[in-house]
Amino acid sequence: MAKNPFMKSEAPPPPTRAYTITVVGLPETIRVDPSQLPDEQGQEGSLLSILMAAGVDIEHVCGGVCACSTCHVYVTAGGATANEATDDELDMLDTAPALKPTSRLACQCVPSGTSDVTVEIPSWNRNAVKEGH
């Protein structure tokens, strides 16, 4: 996993319980098993890592190191179970279009697994759906 060497904050703990992620507009849900977290991009157990491993290709120009805002998503349910956004993440979110109170960077948002999560990918980032949809 890529790690931004300039981030001062500690990595959030990975999820400890199984849960599901629903992506608005996609027919299937993604089952997350904390004992089998993918080694993709972003923090361990991040929405970016899990969604990419499930075939949801979310834009992430910086490689998941919190150095851009291209993986901006809306966590419309279950967001309270995720780690709190760091100052670094909030600074990057300030550069993202169409912010909402539920905005997060998928590379930094790590749900604990205590609740299922629903994610909406903003309309300008529609390359995030599986190829051949």
Q: What is the pLDDT of residue 105?
A: 97
Fold of 19-123: Ubiquitin-like (UB roll) (3.10.20)
Confidence at residue 12, expressed as pLDDT on a 0 to 100 scale: 86
Give the model's pLDDT for residue 57: 84
Give domain limits for the chain. 19-123
Tell me the C-alpha to C-alpha distance, in Å, between residue 122 and each of 3, 38, 107.
25, 24, 15
Regions in the chain scoring below 70 on pLDDT: 1-9, 124-133
pLDDT for the residue numbered 11: 79
Pairing of strands 72-77, 29-32: unpaired
